[in-house]
Structure formats: C-alpha cells, structure tokens
Amino acid sequence: MLEHLRAPFKKLIEPLAKALISIGLTANAVTVIGTIGTIVVAFVAGITGWLFAGAVVLTLLVLADSLDGSIAKLTTGGTQFGAFLDSTLDRIADWALLAGVIVFFILHADWWYDISQSSPDYISWVGVGAAMVSMMTSFVTSYARARAESVGFEVKNGIATRADRLVIILVGMAITGLTHHGLWLAIGMVLLAVLGVATVFQRILEARRQMTAGHRTYQP
C-alpha cells in the first residue's frame, strides 16, 4: 500500500543522505549500522517496556534502510553486493522488531493490561501468537519475491509489503507506549498476521499467473 510513496519519500530524505555522505558514511556502513541499531533498540524496548521511545528511535533506524539506497544512488550508483546486503539484513531487522514485540508481551503481560479490573493475560498470548505468524509471513513474503526473481519473474505485489508492515509494528508500539494498553499492539499484531497471510497468498497466485503465462518480467 505504501510502496507508491517510495519516490516522494526518497525526495524528502535526499538532503539527509547528502549530509551523511558529507561526513564520510558509505551506503554499506549505513545498512549495517541501521540493522545493528534496530536489533539493540527492539530488544531494549521489549525488555524495558519503553515502547513509545523505542518506536521513535526505531522509526529513525528504519529510515536508515531508505537512506542507504539514497546514499548508494548518489555515490556508487548502487552495487550488486549492496542490494544483496540490504535485502539480507532487512530480514534480520524484521526478525528483531517482531522478537522485541514478543519479548514485550511475555515480560509485561501483568502490568500493561489494566483495561479492566481482571488481568486479561490471554491478550498477551494472542499478541505472541499473532507476532509469530507475522514473523513467518514477513519472511515468506520476502522469500517469495526473491525466489521468483531468481527465475526471472517480478512478484512484489501484496497488501502488506515491507513499508506497510513496518508502519503497523511501529504505530502499534507507539500507541501502546502512550496509552499503556497492550491491547493496541495486540490488535496491530493480529492485523499484521491477517494481512501477512493474505500477502503470501497474493504473491503465490501472482507467481503462478506469471509463470503460467511464461513471460519473464524480471531482469536482475
């Protein structure tokens, strides 16, 4: 859904990319720093329960994934290894964000759920289950695209591509952080799981359509 915002978003962050180039940062360095930062902050947020602060910092770190491509475009023009590194480390960042959410649900189930007088612990298990499904669909969505590309077909459709998935996770974290109600993050995870399953089906069907037609659509 948000994929069509890529071009205007890129234009918006171009000055920031130029500033990073001027202090000597390379695209690959930004890719690696962004990923390491995401892993650390996602787990710190999950363990401490500082979800709003975590969402703000993670938003900036996720931005690094857009900045690396902008830096590459302005310097080397983009490299094969850079593209490989970017997509590969994205999987680790995706894992870290959802693992951080799971850690949060497990560690903070007791004191984040004060919506009613009772302690609806089951909400945290719904959150854990949905986050686990989302982790799987996030990997399979990206794998389906990469596997199709490896045999010459472009399969990047779907209702929940990466930017959508990131926004759902970060907005869910931010709202739960602000309200102290874990229910919002659990709702976000259920939404992500449902949209993720739908996206996997959309990509499988699109791959079948293209492969049955037999016209190659992707040139590496």
The residues assigned a catalytic role are 90
Phi-psi domain of 27 (left: phi exceeds 0; alpha: psi -120 through 50; beta: other): alpha
> Rounded to the nearest whole angstrom, what is the least distance from the CB of residue 17 to ligand LIP in the complex?
16
Whether the Cβ atoms of residue 198 and residue 1 lie closer than 8 Å to each other: no
Residue 166 touching ligand LX3Z4C5P (CB under 6 A): yes
The reply on whether position 86 binds Mg ion by CB under 5 A is yes
Maximum distance among all alpha carbons in the chain?
A: 60
Token pair belonging to 164: 């959508």
* Residue 206 binds ligand LIP, judged by CB under 6 A: no
What Cα–Cα distance (Å) separates residue 12 from each residue in 7, 40, 121, 179, 188?
Answer: 9, 27, 42, 30, 27
User: Residue 161, by phi and psi: left (phi above 0), alpha (psi -120 to 50) or beta?
Assistant: beta
Interaction of residue 94 with ligand LX3Z4C5P, rule CB under 6 A: no
Looking at 20, 25, 38, 66, which residue binds ligand LX3Z4C5P (CB under 6 A)? 66
DSSP string over 28-86: HHHHHHHHHHHHHHHHHHHHH--HHHHHHHHHHHHHHHHHHHHHHHHTTS--HHHHHHH
Cβ proximity to ligand LIP: between 35 and 161 the closer is 161
Subset of residues 4 to 33 that bind ligand LX3Z4C5P, contact rule: CB under 6 A: 5-6, 9, 12-13, 27-28, 31
Give the one entry of ligand LIP, Mg ion, ligand LX3Z4C5P, none that residue 142 binds, where binding means its C-beta sits below a cut-off of 5 to 8 angstroms depending on kind. Answer: ligand LIP
Residues that bind ligand LX3Z4C5P (CB under 6 A): 2-3, 5-6, 9, 12-13, 27-28, 31, 55-56, 59, 62-63, 65-66, 68-69, 72, 78-79, 82-83, 85-86, 162-163, 166-167, 170-171, 174
Q: Which residues are annotated as a binding site?
A: 28-31, 65, 68-69, 79, 86, 90
